[in-house]
Chain A
Amino acid sequence: MPADAYTGRWLRADLEAAHQTILLETLSHTHFESAQLQLYDALECSPMAMLLGSTGVGKTRLIDTLARDANVSRSNQHAAVVVKAAAPRGQAFSWKNFWIDTLDAVADPLPDNKVDRHATAAALRSGRPAALRHSTEDTLRRSVTSAARNRSLEILYIDEAASLLKSGNERVLKDQLDVLRDLADHGEFKIVLVSTPAILESLDASGELLRRIDEVFFLRYRRNGPTGQADYTSFRRILKSLLKHLPEQTRFKPSKAQETLLYAGSLGGIGHLSRWLRRALVRCDRARAERLKWDHFEETGYSDKKLGQLYKHAEADDEIITDWTERTHCQAPAPENLGAPDARLPQQTKPGKDPNFRSRAKRVGSPRPTRRSAA
């Protein structure tokens, strides 16, 4: 067998064990725990929540961990399930496939082979061919509600939720938002949408849905942000703790410059960092090197172009997050400005004159009122 043949296992056993430990370690950093607490608080208050963050910060790891902890604590394998919203093929998202995936996640029998007996009976009554009718979206949704009730489902995590709102036109988008709203209202479980912040722009179309959703932002460690230095220090600490789990003979100790490059190459996201670390370990193992070196990181890092694109998206996400987390309307005005019109608030019309008001004379078909002369 050739030396580089795939044997089903990329890493040596000790390196694999070290990487699994590293993955566990990525569950206990500052932003991770902060996002976890915020998500619990949001679910306490509203039926739906959104977990938003840039690519590679660790959103999927977070919801997998939360689902596993919920299932263990409640001794119920289906207390919390994670469903990935499949990307639509055409213009609109396929809710039918989504319901089937959800039924599969709660271990409902034969989710892709549901039948609708009432539809078959109706077809028989109207004289149509009597083949067994397969379920429509409505019946699948009812099956999801029934299965969720029986399995005592408490939280449904929808990963890649941006796919849910991909539609060709505004009307379809509105319908899909209504489906989400109904699911939140009638289902007896909480819903968490997991996506990048770009989804917020789609939600402008539904004020009712916005009212029901609380946003939780999973931030990356930004050196140029408002808490830049503290974030960078935290990132370095996390990096050191991850590298500490490598075997003694393989351990790699980066210099300060290399730490900076590691931060830059992972965009401050722990997800990017752990994947880069694994690629470097694989390269080290394949090269039969005794110790992990910086060369391995160089060879397995993102290309400049890719990194540039990722940075562009990450900064766009940061901008959206900044806009959506600003709460200046809640801040009390300075004492010297009390009584003056508040420039922060939206412009209002003069009191007593509503631009939507139409005088009675302008209503179609109604007579103009006349003034009666005094007797």
Chain B
Amino acid sequence: MNVVANSDVVLYGRRPNGVGTPLVESLSGYFARVCEARSISVVDALDVFVRPLVSPKLLRARSQLPRYLKSHMASDFDGMIWRAHAAVRALERLTGETDLSVHTCLSWRRLFIPRSSGAIDYRRKRWCALCFDAWDREGSEPWEPLLFRLAPVERCPIHRILLSEYCPSCHLPQPMVVQRVPLSYCHCCGARLHIGDPLRESGCLDTDAGDDGVWAWWISVVLGQMLSVHVGSEQLADSNGFVSLVNDAVDVFGMNSLAAAMGYKRNVLRQWRRVIRRPWLRTFVKMCLRLGAHPADVAFPDPGGRRTYSWSPWPIGREPWLAAKVQPAPSLCHTRSTRVKREAAALNAAVAAGEYSSIADVTRIVGVSYDRLLRNFPEQVVKIRAALAASREQQLRRYRHGLRTAIESDDVISLAAVSRALGVGLHALRHACPDLCARVVEANAERRRCERAERTTQRTRLV
């Protein structure tokens, strides 16, 4: 045991448990356990030791602290906002421990919506009866894992059973932070929370859970692995991984089909892509698993390669999300929408007919915007442009030939006549070949002058 020589360290005697494992201890649970070790009340410890070290907004008045313990203390201490940060700093000073932020969700603060109520279920305490039993047999002190505080978690990742919420004796729910009985006891009747639990007494795992049970177990496993990954306060989860995952999915499946398959509005997906809005924890896990990615890999990208976990219930290479990647979920099998098919058909018809003189004509015929046309049919647009360029070149050659003919002829041929002969407007002709048109005008002016001069000479000779 480490010697606690510093008098400022008053809450000593216990080390936090489970660091680097899925069942890492929660900060509120560690605080309650160390108060139990020192035989002091949690309310007294908060009032006397924690209050001077934190902002007055964090802790309420002394008379309201018992109620605070029952609900909001867990979400404040274990969450991902400034309250958890303040609690971590205070407890590091009081306990002498370092890096207590691994016992909170602080490293996820850039990944999810900052409100901790989305991550922490502050309404009731949950525990695994078999975990309590195992700790009892080992002779170690039970603790409260952070994983069991998370709202999406309903099953124990190790034993697969549903988490218990009610005392097996009196069938009453338990407060989040217990202060008058030890951790593994009921605060109403004083009975042990795992003795007499029907799940424990059955002696077998809850295997008849169905798809919903398997899904819930997957969530608890991957969240446990997410908790086991971050072991340093400097490492923060990055939202870029999730944004790129959603972008890739939209590019592959299309916005409409993706939104319909996931059950979210298109606006929500758009906001995720533009990092205007962050997802809830449950949404994040669901999106990752259904798109074939491990949430921990998305949250904490490992540039060195695939991460292997010290604890995993599946053999390496046979994780369920890998299977999902190879065979995507059935609801996402429609690769192209019917609208795109219709547009492709119209475009092909327009190109085949050749009844267009510009891209604008094509977009009008197909009935789409230029951006959509370019995004969905880039190759066709390139071909159309090439064809248009070729036809324009041919047209220009014809215009020049006609204008040169007009220049070289002996008769006066006006530009209007040339344009009528070529079947093009005067302005378009002038715009296409301004130099030749100017030469035609000059040539015409010269011929008229010559004719006038000749007529004048003939008149003079007659006279």
Tell me which of A75, A109, A120 contacts B190 (CB under 8 A).
Answer: A120
B residues in contact with A149, CB < 8 Å: 1
B residues in contact with A135, CB < 8 Å: 39
Within 8 A of A (CB), among B167-194: 179-182, 185-191
Taking CB as reference atom, which chain A residue is nearest B7?
A107
B residues in contact with A76, CB < 8 Å: 3, 5
Subset of 28 A-B contacts with CB under 8 Å: A78-B7, A107-B10, A109-B10, A109-B11, A109-B38, A109-B40, A109-B49, A110-B44, A110-B45, A113-B44, A115-B39, A115-B40, A120-B180, A121-B182, A121-B185, A121-B190, A122-B190, A123-B190, A124-B189, A132-B179, A135-B39, A143-B39, A146-B13, A150-B1, A150-B4, A152-B3, A152-B4, A152-B5
Whether A124 pairs with B188 at a CB distance below 8 angstroms is: yes
Nearest-neighbour CB distance to chain B for A18, whole angstroms, equals 32
Residue B41 CB within 8 A of the other chain: yes
Size category of the binding interface on chain A: 20 to 34
Residue A118 CB within 8 A of the other chain: yes
Residues of B within 8 A of A (CB): 1, 3-7, 10-13, 36-41, 44-45, 48-49, 179-182, 185-191
Most buried by B among A113, A117, A123, A146: A117
Residue A125 CB within 8 A of the other chain: yes
Whether B13 pairs with A132 at a CB distance below 8 angstroms is: no
Residue A94 CB within 8 A of the other chain: no
A residues in contact with B6, CB < 8 Å: 77
Whether B4 pairs with A151 at a CB distance below 8 angstroms is: yes
Bound-state CA distance A143–B13 (Å) is 11
Nearest-neighbour CB distance to chain A for B192, whole angstroms, equals 9
Bound-state CA distance A29–B407 (Å) is 135
Nearest-neighbour CB distance to chain B for A144, whole angstroms, equals 11
Tell me which of B4, B41, B190 contacts A115 (CB under 8 A).
Answer: B41
Whether A77 pairs with B41 at a CB distance below 8 angstroms is: no
A residues in contact with B11, CB < 8 Å: 109
Closest 8 CB pairs of A and B: A124-B190, A125-B190, A121-B190, A76-B5, A152-B3, A109-B10, A121-B181, A114-B39
Taking CB as reference atom, which chain A residue is nearest B169?
A125
Known: A118-B182, A122-B190, A130-B180. A150 touches B12 (CB 8 A): yes
Whether B189 pairs with A109 at a CB distance below 8 angstroms is: no
Most buried by A among B1, B181, B185, B191: B181
Bound-state CA distance A107–B188 (Å) is 33
Whether B7 pairs with A125 at a CB distance below 8 angstroms is: no
Within 8 A of B (CB), among A73-132: 75-78, 107-110, 113-118, 120-125, 130, 132
B residues in contact with A150, CB < 8 Å: 1, 3-4, 12-13
Most buried by B among A116, A120, A124, A149: A124
Nearest-neighbour CB distance to chain A for B252, whole angstroms, equals 56
Taking CB as reference atom, which chain A residue is nearest B9?
A107
Bound-state CA distance A146–B39 (Å) is 11
A residues in contact with B1, CB < 8 Å: 149-150
Whether B189 pairs with A125 at a CB distance below 8 angstroms is: yes
Bound-state CA distance A289–B434 (Å) is 124
Whether A115 pairs with B180 at a CB distance below 8 angstroms is: yes
Nearest-neighbour CB distance to chain B for A131, whole angstroms, equals 8
Bound-state CA distance A77–B45 (Å) is 23
Whether B181 pairs with A120 at a CB distance below 8 angstroms is: yes
Taking CB as reference atom, which chain B residue is nearest A130?
B180
A residues in contact with B38, CB < 8 Å: 108-110, 143
Whether B39 pairs with A139 at a CB distance below 8 angstroms is: yes
A residues in contact with B185, CB < 8 Å: 117, 121
Known: A78-B5, A124-B190, A143-B39. A117 touches B181 (CB 8 A): yes
Nearest-neighbour CB distance to chain A for B214, whole angstroms, equals 37
Bound-state CA distance A227–B163 (Å) is 80
Bound-state CA distance A122–B36 (Å) is 16
Nearest-neighbour CB distance to chain A for B34, whole angstroms, equals 10
